[in-house]
Chains A and B, each alone.
Chain A
Amino acid sequence: MSATQTLVCLRTVGQDNPASLETYLKLGGYAQLKRLVTDKVKATEVISQVKLSGLRGRGGAGFPTGLKWSFMPRYFDGTKYLVCNTDEGEPGTFKDRDIIRYNPHQLIEGMAIAAYTLGARVGYNYIHGEIWQDYEIFEAALDEARAAGYLGEQLFGSNFSFDLYAVHGYGAYICGEETALIESIEGKKGQPRFKPPFPASYGVFGKPTNVNNTESYTSIPWILQHGGQAFQELGVSNSGGSKIFSISGHVAKPGNYEVNMGIPFTDLLEMAGGVWKGRKLKAVIPGGPSTAVMPAAAIIGATMDYDGLSKAGSSLGAGSMIVMDETTCMVKTLKRLSYFFFEESCGQCTPCREGTGWVYRVIKRIVDGQGKLEDLDLLTDVSNNISGRTICALGDAAATPVLSFIKHFRPEFEYYIRHGRSMVEDGKTQPEVAYA
């Protein structure tokens, strides 16, 4: 039997007019917010449900959301802020876009619940600058929610007030890093801050701020409606709930699939129609380009959850799965990915600013037929020198594809360097490597 989707964050999909308030209300929307506010449910109870749910940050880092919420100072003299990170910009990521496009009200309710729990007065949803249409959809949803009394002053006759605003970026990938995002909201150049202090103590305008991913916030109303335990049980141990996988690349039916955590990779691939044109699977990037690439043999037996993928040698990231068939040239793929990180480095700190350009130029030289065999060791060494020595995680993200591509496809790189053209163009494949 083939696996089916579990619609938590995308639950309005399939309805008429999915983004409208009317549709969301029909599905029981805003009931949880109303219940919490009118019954004056204690913040600690909400946090314990979120902790119980096993929800982990869906933006890629996988930090437990409930734990993050408990870092926010409970008593603070002044405004606390809530920020939603919808700045998804990595190649192959497109889940947050669909949440906003089809189910913006659940995100708004999730943020309002978080604001109630954490005592935040003002919230911002930072939307990637290249998805303008979705920014407009979200603005329209905000207007609807304000008019219906789900946002604003003294909600449901209580003394809880929450204002939510949409902020759009201008397309910089680095603004998806939470402190760069905060700088950008403040109207400054999007450059990551040095941490500590973390946003929970020094965030937007220097005030305590909670930053979560769109999918994390959107899961909250479901968790409170069905209980943390039910959410945890959707998934597997240590990876609770459902997860949207954005499947792109060489599959018959690319798109967003919301499934239970822990789904076997083969089931998920089948759901997306399998590898297209009846071709053979070559490699998969399971969580977006900042996670390590996996050869077919390594991922075929893996389950799609945090532990499953880390055991198999990669990570879940943001669940942006890029599938590559046997006609893919890994050298050219790596050139494209390293160009992305080279272009998107903010230029603030040395290893990333200088290293990403170096790596890209060496790979480009290989693709242009001017490579030398010692370039592969050089690439590995330079990537290791970037990794772990930068202000933010972009340095690590830039190094991961280089290290993993060379690790798993070294014979293909060597062939390219020796012959000046791709192994794939010559109709050859590198010898199979066995993976445990």
Chain B
Amino acid sequence: MLNIEIDGKQVEVEHGATIIDAADQLGIAIPRFCYHKKLSVAANCRMCLVQVEKFNKPLPACATPVADGMKIFTRSKSAVEAQQSVMEFLLINHPLDCPICDQGGECDLQDIAMAYGAPKSRYTEEKRVVLNKNIGPLVSTDMTRCIQCTRCVRFLKEVGGMMELGLVNRGEHAEITAYVDKSVDSELSGNIIDLCPVGALTSKPFRYTARSWELTRRPSIAPHDGLGSQIEVHIKDGKVLRVLPREKETVNECWLSDRDRFSYEALTVRIG
């Protein structure tokens, strides 16, 4: 076990733990987009930069393993400056179309921008526009909103087992796309909707039917996958509008199969 200090609080963590693990253990919030506890570490969003004693540059909390006696400052001047500058960079090419975005109200970018973003943008140049991709009947794309965190790419590769999405092109032209003229066929594809920290990937069946804060949430058990995955049924005006997974480490972790995620449509839609 290693003893470290974050923002003046002592904590004991296991060998190999990263700063973000230790901070989560202490309940200290470090902002993040690309990091997800179930996926490999990419360290590409740079939102989780923190100050570490004896290092002159801020380090990404998600990718920096802790060393014994390390002193970490997540709210120091240098850390906050780094986090605010990354937030500014993320927002310059983001369309900021929250009022018409399905993710509004449950968006990581929106939440973290409230805490770290500036009230006014210094960016006056043209914004980037990225063409939307048709990746199938379940996941709707709005790629201009994408912040290239690659959570969806990593999920499909590491959990889904097939690399169906990838980051193509370089620099500002980088975009997430499926293989040319191919859809995302994974039976777990709905999870990339939950993973997407912005409104780039949203649910096609649920799209434009409700705002997240209008929904009543009821816990339930998945009827189809034979695992007993824990789910949450979201209801508005007596109608089921969507189903999301509930976290249960021993059963479904934080994932849900597409048939359980989208089968609620059969409750209302009649064919023929």
For A, the interface residue count at a CB cutoff of 8 angstroms equals 29
Please determine whether B41 and A351 come into contact, CB atoms closer than 8 angstroms.
no
Distance A189 CA – B163 CA, assembled complex (angstroms) = 14
Binary flags per residue of A348-367, CB closer than 8 Å to B gives 1, else 0: 11110111111001100100
- Set of chain B residues within 8 Å of A172, measured between Cβ atoms: 170
Known: A342-B171, A347-B148. A365 touches B88 (CB 8 A): no
- Interchain nearest-CB distance for B212 vs A (Å): 26
- Chain A residues with CB under 8 Å of B42's CB are 194
Assess whether B134 is interfacial by the CB under 8 Å rule.
no
A385 within 8 A of B: yes
Whether a CB of chain A sits under 8 angstroms from the CB of B193 is no
A385–B89 touching, CB < 8 Å:
yes
| Contact of B57 with A by CB under 8 A | yes
A346 to B128, alpha carbons, bound, how many Å?
A: 16
Whether a CB of chain A sits under 8 angstroms from the CB of B86 is: yes
Task: State whether A391 touches B172 (Cβ < 8 A).
Answer: no
Set of chain B residues within 8 Å of A348, measured between Cβ atoms = 44, 148, 167, 174
Q: Are B93 and A354 in contact (CB under 8 A)?
A: yes
Q: What A residues does B167 contact at CB under 8 A?
A: 189, 347-348
Contact indicator A351/B46 (Cβ below 8 Å):
yes
Flag if A390 contacts B123 (CB, 8 Å): no
The digit string for A164-187, where 1 denotes a CB below 8 A from any CB of B, is: 000000001010000000000000
Q: Are A349 and B43 in contact (CB under 8 A)?
A: yes
Check A356 against B46 for contact (C-beta < 8 Å).
Answer: no
| CB-contact partner of B125 in A189, A344, A361, under 8 A | A361
Chain B residues with CB below 8 A from A355, complex form: 89
Q: A356 contacts which of B45, B88, B122, B171 (Cβ < 8 Å)?
A: B171
User: A349 near B172 (CB under 8 angstroms)?
Assistant: no
Q: Is A3 engaged at the interface, CB distance under 8 Å to the other chain?
A: no
In the complex, which residue of chain A has the Cβ closest to the Cβ of B173?
A347
Would you call B90 an interface residue if the criterion is a C-beta within 8 Å of the partner chain's C-beta atoms? yes
> What is the CA–CA distance of A375 and B171 in the complex, to the nearest angstrom?
23
Would you call B171 and A349 a contact (CB within 8 A)?
no
Closest-CB distance, A13 to chain B (whole angstroms): 36
Contact B60 A342 (CB under 8 A): no
1/0 per residue, CB under 8 A from A, across B47-74: the answer is 1010000001110100100000000000
Q: Does B126 reach chain A (CB closer than 8 Å)?
A: yes
With A353-B148, A354-B89, A361-B126 already in contact, the answer to whether A346 and B58 are too (CB < 8 A) is: no
Q: Which residue of chain A has its CB nearest to the CB of B83?
A: A389
Contact assessment for A389 and B169 in the assembled complex, using a CB-CB cutoff below 8 Å: no
Rounded to whole angstroms, the CA-CA distance of A350 and B170 in the bound complex is: 12
B92 interfacial contact with A, CB 8 Å? yes
Decide: A354 and B46 in contact? CB cutoff 8 A. no
Q: Which of A238-291 contact B (CB under 8 A)?
A: none
| B binding-site residues for A, Cβ under 8 Å | 41-47, 49, 56-58, 60, 63, 82, 85-86, 88-90, 92-93, 122-123, 125-126, 128, 147-148, 167, 169-174
Chain A positions near chain B (C-beta within 8 angstroms): 172, 174, 189, 194, 342-351, 353-358, 361-362, 365, 378, 385, 388-391
A–B Cβ pairs within 8 angstroms, 7 of them: A342-B171, A343-B171, A345-B171, A354-B90, A357-B171, A378-B122, A389-B49
Q: A194-B63, A343-B171, A351-B89 are in contact. List 6 more A-B contacts (CB 8 A).
A: A345-B170, A346-B170, A347-B174, A353-B148, A354-B92, A361-B125
What 5 pairs across the A-B complex have the smallest Cβ distances?
A347-B174, A385-B85, A345-B171, A354-B89, A361-B125
